[in-house]
Amino acid sequence: MKLRICSFLLTLIAAALLNSNAFAQKQKKYIVNAYVGGYRGLVKVDEIDADKLTHINYAFVDVKDSTAFLTNLKTDSTNFRLLNGLKKINPDLKIVISIGGWSWSENFSDAVLTPSSRKLFAKTSVDIVRQYDLDGVDIDWEYPAMRGEEGNVYRPEDKQNFTLMFREICNELDKLEAEKGRKYLLTAAVGGSKSFVNNTEMAEVAKMLDYILIMTYDYGGKTVAHHTNLYPSKGMENSSSAHKSVMDFMQAGVPAHKIGLGAAFYSRSREAESTQNNGINQPQLTGSKAAAGQGGGYTKMKNEIINKNGYKRYWDRHAKAPYLFNPDTKVFISYDDERSIRMKVRYIRKHKLAGIFFWEYFSDPQEYLLNEIDRVMK
């Protein structure tokens, strides 16, 4: 009898723990969205900590002849199956295809140029979601009506066609929702510049999207500066920053609760002309051999580079950002670390944003930054 009672109690405790975990997952207040690069090959899903995520955006689906298509059908289809398997660990995890990206945006402008091409693009995008039992579509067009990678097609009509594209995708997702009886996501990764805002109709677009993920990284210019800073450095008040990007989008009509703030799990290196101010706001040398190949993902940064080999870590209290500087080579390395992640989470809470997202999961395989996000988001 005692054995049966103990077994019964253990069953009750296990059920309570399962229910509490499920409840906690459902009650997550903020999104934690990871971009996972499928272009490298098979995704190492056993190294993904699914419990710490709300969304995975699979990068990337390509665009050609007004069609969304998988560049490596065998690899991509296997990755979709493996990623869906993570829902056994986290049933609320959403797997979303991300279309485009820096290297696959050259054909967007043509794909959405006419009503018929938009319809085909939208249908083939949603067909991938349908076929592989995924959870939605993310558009990462870099960039509408402005230059992106060399060779990208862009035209003034992109501004209106960007909006019309989402409208068509919405129509296709509505059909899928009617078929399956469940909700599907539509999101966008957007450039963090004011030019992106000026070349789109974000107030209209925002009405159709669940989240707008502002790429608050890869900032840069002719002078040395941070690439994923929360605020500008002293003396650079008009330069790019996450805060400026968020304010630009909100002023354009994007609600705060739909905005995801970007974090960089990788670094950017630049060579300054002088050592003054540790390189910050100094002219940068283009095509620098000294800066090439320096830095890397955050795991490598933390384990092998920070405060080693001539690189000293500094904290920019105005920008709320760390950086490394080597006075011998004049190489400046910008990145996110645990402290800047805490600052970004505090900012998300203060401004009531949707949450955080990051590029790219496997840039920090030891999960230093994801662990910090998980710790401070709770």
**Residue 9: is its pLDDT beyond 70?**
no
> Tens digit of pLDDT for each residue in 195-240?
999 999 999 999 999 999 999 999 999 999 999 999 999 999 999 9
- Give yes or no for residue 13 having a pLDDT over 50: no
Q: What is the dihedral of CA 100, 103, 108, 109, to 10 degrees?
A: 150
> Would you state the pLDDT for residue 17?
43
Residue 22 above 50 pLDDT? Answer: no
List CB contacts of 146: < 8 A, sequence separation 6 or more: 154, 195, 196, 199
Contact 178, 134 (CB under 8 A): no
The predicted model gives 295-303 an average pLDDT of 97
How far is 329 from 275, CA to CA, in rounded Å? 9
- Contact (CB, 8 A) for 332 and 324: yes
Long-range contacts of range 76-82, CB-CB < 8 Å, 24 or more positions apart? Answer: 76/38, 77/132, 78/42, 79/38, 79/42, 79/43, 80/132, 80/133, 80/134, 81/132, 82/42, 82/43, 82/45
The model's pTM = 0.93
Q: How confident is the model at residue 293 (pLDDT cuts 50, 70, 90)?
A: confident
Q: Is residue 111 a contact partner of residue 66, using CB atoms and an 8 Å limit?
A: yes
Instruction: Answer whether CATH 3.40.50.1360 is correct for domain 31-265+338-377.
Output: no
Query: What amino acid occupies position 109?
Result: S
Give me the pLDDT at residue 347, please.
98
Location of structure tokens 């660990």: 89
Active site (catalytic) residues? 142
Per-residue pLDDT at 243: 98
Predicted confidence (pLDDT) at residue 267 exceeds the cutoff of 60: yes
